[in-house]
Structure 1
């Protein structure tokens, strides 16, 4: 897919926005990679290392959605890299993080799981990590990562970790995924790796950009669903298409159109400056986009039947990738969190 095939560019930015030339150039480099983009891990990560983070949130989401429209796995590789760069930039601006070499490819490992724990210990002025961190996507292939670990007062703190340190061991699994099979998300074991603290305990979860990164993931979901909509449009335009084909297309189009409107408005608010309800706004936006993507996948399954899932490699891979990726939304649990916030008096529209 090229910009010429995608007349909606720009999706989230006002036409003529300063960042758009850079976004377009980055997408052009992705197109130049051809079939290797997303499927060839080494080639895609080399491209990720070359990407410069846009200055605005709208342009960042523009880039993420455009990449996901080309390949969902490539967007899954790029999104945490850009998020890490944004976190480091915000920490530096706030004076809570040292100036670091940000070259290479980055991940963000902040998940927790029962039975495993990563702890940070301080000896004088040196911090080291000890234990196991779950859900570390591409840890065996990335250069560095921002990692949360538990500190003495049983709070989590963020650290910059060199994944090439011999004290870091990346597991190869278990990872039996059919979607995002190229993006292995398995634990790492760490025993004494020296790390650099970023912010004080609790800073990572409370920093303003946390909400921005959360919706960046949703921009990837949205962009990944656009080619599925195009497949529905092509089917509905066929001479033998019936009214049901058009109903499915209409339902999907409306859902994605509404989700795009939410992303545009959310980017506008976030780019304008901090808001007391940014966390709630982020959860609302993610819920709207997740619902739209799930409606798209269901509509495609009903309208197109099994054929594209069995004979169209690109479509089948995209559907499988999206099914795994959108599960970063926690469904009813995230809705319950929104409801709790509203019940507590938060969140004026």
Structure 2
């Protein structure tokens, strides 16, 4: 059975409802939307464009079963260069383009690509064969900490073993492998783990989310589960790639907002927009264009290796903050312009809105702004 393709849309709902903004409330037509998203038009590359087009040719739509999305992510991971080997622009464009089609699928793809990038950066490589990992493996990255739980790593004659509870492990019951942080005697370290091992027990929930309902994020309990080290003590958090991975998540947020904006634009093609509708569309364009410029600037700094004088954490928090504000603005203006109709009777729009609203809350709002402010003060000179 073939996977559902990006051009397949949920059936359009029936009659329009009244809307003071003058924008039609009918669902999008069943014609295909553009799928590729270009973050940096100043860096055209035919090879990158071809790989992106090929990857998006059969991107699935997430509707209950994550299996097709996981299989697609594994296939894409084998064909698209990861961030550590060919720069960050291509994977960020792929993540944004995927989210513009389906936010949930991007949420599946992002940690898989992040894990592949981390593994490619490890000095000396990682003994993945010992945990049964190969090119068909599907990966998560579990690095969250939580009150009252802790994952401990201990060395024994049989190798490293992990014991304890790890919170917020997305799709742990569906993935084959994960990179997970644990506390050892020499500090916090990263390990690779076979999630199918009998010593690993993913919890089924609780997970009552209305957005990303398929992406269950729940604790995993481990009982002397075998694992292999990935880098040395502190390596995972200290490497510059940690910051770039966080911006990859922001690329997903931005792509999800692009998907909403495309629906707003499509509504203006079905009925002549009034002044309010035009104002909403213009405001969305300003927000998304500013965020794209921020992502493009960071991608150039990273890919051209000109970030030595700039703290990676500052760049990442700045770019993520810009994208979050653009997402918030896009959600607000699309909701004001389109009204309640698409939220209540357009399955695709309602899911995109709910998925994106939850996903973007990985940003810690004012807490992340405060963290950025502390970093700027520590540098002793104004950055502007």
TM range (shorter): over 0.9
The correspondence for 2:174, drawn from 141, 156, 176, is 141
Deviation of 1:130 (Å) = 0.4
Does residue 10 of structure 1 match 2:20?
Answer: no
Residues in 2 aligned to 1:102 and 1:258: alpha-carbon distance in whole angstroms: 40
Task: Name 2:334's counterpart in structure 1.
Answer: 300
Task: Name 2:15's counterpart in structure 1.
Answer: none
Say which is worse superposed, 50-59 or 333-342, in terms of deviation. 50-59
Residues in 2 aligned to 1:210 and 1:7: alpha-carbon distance in whole angstroms: 28
Task: Name 1:217's counterpart in structure 2.
Answer: 249
Are 2:277 and 2:337, in contact at CA under 8 Å, matched by a contact in 1?
yes
Residues in 1 aligned to 2:228 and 2:35: alpha-carbon distance in whole angstroms: 44
Does residue 60 of structure 1 match 2:91?
Answer: yes
Are 1:38 and 1:44, in contact at CA under 8 Å, matched by a contact in 2?
no
Task: Name 1:26's counterpart in structure 2.
Answer: 55
* Change beyond 3 A, Cα 1:285–1:62: same
Residues in 1 aligned to 2:241 and 2:370: alpha-carbon distance in whole angstroms: 22
* Change beyond 3 A, Cα 1:99–1:141: closer
Deviation of 1:280 (Å) = 0.7
Within-5 A mapping of 1:118-267: 118-124=151-157, 126-153=159-186, 155-239=187-271, 241-267=273-299
Deviation of 1:304 (Å) = 1.3
Residues in 1 aligned to 2:364 and 2:51: alpha-carbon distance in whole angstroms: 33
Within-5 A mapping of 1:280-299: 280-299=314-333
SS at match of 2:160: strand
> Residues 219-239 of structure 1, C-alpha deviation per residue, up to 9 Å, x if partnerless?
000111112112222334454
Residues in 2 aligned to 1:150 and 1:204: alpha-carbon distance in whole angstroms: 13
| TM-score computed with the length of structure 2 as normaliser | 0.84
Does residue 318 of structure 1 match 2:347?
Answer: no
Deviation of 1:8 (Å) = 6.5
> Residues 165-191 of structure 1, C-alpha deviation per residue, up to 9 Å, x if partnerless?
000001110000000001000000000
Task: Name 1:47's counterpart in structure 2.
Answer: 72
> Residues 111-155 of structure 1, C-alpha deviation per residue, up to 9 Å, x if partnerless?
0110111111111461100010000000000000000011124x2
Say which is worse superposed, 170-179 or 95-104, in terms of deviation. 95-104
* Change beyond 3 A, Cα 1:239–1:96: closer
Aligned residues: 342
SS at match of 2:57: helix
Are 2:141 and 2:178, in contact at CA under 8 Å, matched by a contact in 1?
yes
Residues in 2 aligned to 1:8 and 1:213: alpha-carbon distance in whole angstroms: 21
* Change beyond 3 A, Cα 1:186–1:211: same
Residues in 2 aligned to 1:335 and 1:19: alpha-carbon distance in whole angstroms: 34
Deviation of 1:16 (Å) = 2.0
Task: Name 1:73's counterpart in structure 2.
Answer: 104
Residues in 2 aligned to 1:322 and 1:7: alpha-carbon distance in whole angstroms: 17
Deviation of 1:96 (Å) = 6.3
> Residues 208-257 of structure 1, C-alpha deviation per residue, up to 9 Å, x if partnerless?
21111100000000111112112222334454632111111111110001
SS at match of 1:293: helix
Q: Name structure 1 gaps, 5 residues minimum.
A: none
| TM-score computed with the length of structure 1 as normaliser | 0.92
* Change beyond 3 A, Cα 1:96–1:50: closer
SS at match of 1:302: helix
Q: Which has the larger radius of gyration?
A: 2
Task: Name 2:141's counterpart in structure 1.
Answer: 108
Task: Name 2:17's counterpart in structure 1.
Answer: none
Residues in 2 aligned to 1:213 and 1:240: alpha-carbon distance in whole angstroms: 42
The higher-RCO structure (CA 8 Å, 6+ apart) is: 2
Are 2:36 and 2:97, in contact at CA under 8 Å, matched by a contact in 1?
no
RMSD: 2.1
Task: Name 2:18's counterpart in structure 1.
Answer: none
Residues in 1 aligned to 2:368 and 2:222: alpha-carbon distance in whole angstroms: 31
